[in-house]
Amino acid sequence: MNPYYLAVDIGASSGRHILAHLENGKMVLEEVHRFPNGMVEKDGENVWDVDELFAQIKLGMKKCGELGKIPVSVGVDTWGVDFVLLDDKGERIGNAVAYRDGRTRGMDEEVYKVIPEDALYARTGIQKAIFNTIYQLMALKVRRPEQLAEAETLLMMPDYFHYLLSGVAATEYTEATTGQLICPETKDWDMELIEKLGYPKKIFRKIVTPGTMLGELTREVQEEVGFTCKVVVPATHDTGSAVIAVPTDSDNALYISSGTWSLLGTERMQANCSPESKANNLTNEGGYEYRFRYLKNIMGLWMIQSVKKEIGGDLSFGEICEMASGCSITSIVDCNDDRFLAPANMTEEVRAACRETGQQVPEGLAEIASVIYNSLAKCYARTIKGLEGITGCKYDCIHIVGGGANADYLNRLTAEATGIPVYAGPTEATAIGNVAAQMITAGELTDLKAARKCVFDSFDIIKYE
C-alpha cells in the first residue's frame, strides 16, 4: 500500500482532515473528518476556540488510526495573520483573538506614528489590512501591554497547532509574511522594524520553509491518537497551499483561490513594493520555494456564506448559485468595502449599499446572491486590469481553485467579465497543496512542477470561455 499523508485544513468556518496517497501516479483523496469552526465571544473579544480545534485535530487523527490508514506525516494549514502568545512555560497567554475582532480599530495610526504607511509598504510589500499581525500587536501594546511583557514566544495559528503536535516552536514562512513584519529581501523577520514598533524581539521564532520536518508527535499526542508520525509543515497559509495546487505550467497564468476570501493574483520571483503596487492594494505574500504570491485580497464568498446563514435556510451553496443565475438584477456593490467585513447583517448591508448608490435594491435570497456574484466578477475584472498594467503581462488563463470553483454561475460571470478563459478546479486545492508539500519532502513527488502535473492529471478541471 502506498503511504498516506494527512492534511489538516482549517478555514474560518470549518476544518477537515484529508488523507492522500498516490495510485498509478494520481493523487487520491479521502476525507476522514470534518468539524465546524467559527468565532466565539469570550471576555468581550471575538476569538477562536483553539482548544476545541486542537481536540478536533486529534480526533481526526485518531480516526485515521481506526481506519488502519496511518499517515507518514501530518501538516496543518489555516488562515493568515492571527497568532497566539506563549509564556516561558509554553502556556498560552490570553485568548486567540480573531482577525475580525475590533481591537485593531485605530491601530494603523499608532503604527504610522513610527513608520509612515508608504514606507511600511515599501519595506514589507504587504497590503494594508487593519487586521494584519502588525496592527494586532499594536493593539496589545496599547491595550494589553502586560501580555506582551509576559510573552516569550509568538506563534502564528498553524504554527501553534504544530507546536502542540510536535513540541517544536517554529514559524512557517508563507504564514508569517501575511502579518506585515517580514522583509521580502531577507525572507526573515524585519527585526529593525519590530524594534522600532516596540514589540519584544525575543518572541519571534526561527522562520522555516514549507516541507520542513519538525519531528515526531509528542508522547502525549501519540498516546491519544494511537500512533506516531512526522510533523511536516506545509505552506501553512491556506492560500500558500492552494497556490501549490494550481494545475498550470504557464508563466502567464492567474489564480483565484476562492473561498471565504477570494485571493486573485500570480506568482513572481521578486516582490513589487512600488508606490504603484501599493496604490492598487496589491500584496507580496510568501509562496513555495520563496516565490511571491502577488495578489489582491477580495472579500470573496464570505458575503454569500453570511447571507446563507441569515436567510438561506437549508439551501446548499449550489442551489443558491443556481437561483442567482436566473435573476436579471444589475446592481453592483464594492466587495472590498470595509462595511462588508463584519456587518451585523450582511443581507441588509448589501441592500443598503445598493440603496445608497441609487441602484435597484435586491429582494430575496436569489437577487441578493446575484448582486454578490456579479459584484465579485466585476471586481475580479478590475483587479486583473490593474495587475496587467503593473506587471506588463497579458494573462492567458485564470485558474479558480478552492471551494468557490464549484460556483458555476460565478465562474461563467468571471470568464465573461474578464474575457479570459477560466479553468475551475480542484476544489480541495488547499488540502492538495498541503499534502503535495509533504509528498515532495518524502520524495514521492520530485518538485513543484511534478506536483502541479500530478494535480492536473488527478482531478477534473472544467473550462469556461
Say whether pLDDT at 1 is over 80.
no
pLDDT in tens, 212-240: 999 999 999 999 999 999 999 999 999 99
| CATH value at residue 323 | 3.30.420.40
Q: Find out whether 58 and 225 touch, Cβ atoms under 8 Å.
A: yes
- Predicted pLDDT of residue 122: 98
pLDDT in tens, 320-334: 999 999 999 999 999
| 144 and 214 together in one domain | yes
Say whether pLDDT at 205 is over 80.
yes
pLDDT in tens, 341-376: 889 999 999 999 999 999 999 999 999 999 999 999
Residue 445 within any structural domain of the chain: no
Say whether pLDDT at 70 is over 90.
yes
- Predicted pLDDT of residue 260: 84
| 334 and 211 together in one domain | no
| 215 and 336 together in one domain | no
- Give residue for cell 465546524: 36
Say whether pLDDT at 279 is over 80.
yes
How confident is the model over 2-25, as a mean pLDDT?
Answer: 95
Cell of 236: 501553512
| 252 and 227 together in one domain | no
| 80 and 183 together in one domain | yes
| 331 and 225 together in one domain | no
Residue 465 within any structural domain of the chain: no
Residue 400 within any structural domain of the chain: yes
Domain span including residue 368: 248-425
Tell me which of 172, 197, 232 is where a domain ends: 232
Percent pLDDT > 70 in the chain is 100
Model's pTM, two decimal places?
0.91
The catalytic residue among 51, 77, 238, 460 is 238
| 258 and 195 together in one domain | no
- Predicted pLDDT of residue 427: 93
| 302 and 344 together in one domain | yes
Residue 273 within any structural domain of the chain: yes
Per-residue pLDDT band for 12 (boundaries 50, 70, 90) equals: confident
- Predicted pLDDT of residue 119: 98
Per-residue pLDDT band for 336 (boundaries 50, 70, 90) equals: confident
pLDDT in tens, 280-315: 889 999 999 999 999 998 988 999 999 999 999 999
Least confident range of 84-88, 234-238, 402-406, 418-422: 402-406
Number of domains in the chain: 2
Say whether pLDDT at 13 is over 90.
no
pLDDT in tens, 143-195: 999 999 999 999 999 999 999 999 999 999 999 999 999 999 999 999 999 99
User: Average pLDDT of the chain?
Assistant: 96
Residue 46 within any structural domain of the chain: yes
- Predicted pLDDT of residue 259: 85
Task: Tell how far CA 431 is from the center of its chain.
Answer: 12
For this structure, is 249 an active site residue? Answer: no
| 127 and 253 together in one domain | no
| 360 and 217 together in one domain | no
Tell me which of 232, 263, 284 is where a domain ends: 232
Residue 336 within any structural domain of the chain: yes
Residue 391 within any structural domain of the chain: yes
- Predicted pLDDT of residue 299: 86
| 200 and 302 together in one domain | no
| 100 and 199 together in one domain | yes
Residue 345 within any structural domain of the chain: yes
Tell me which of 202, 232, 262 is where a domain ends: 232
- Predicted pLDDT of residue 342: 86
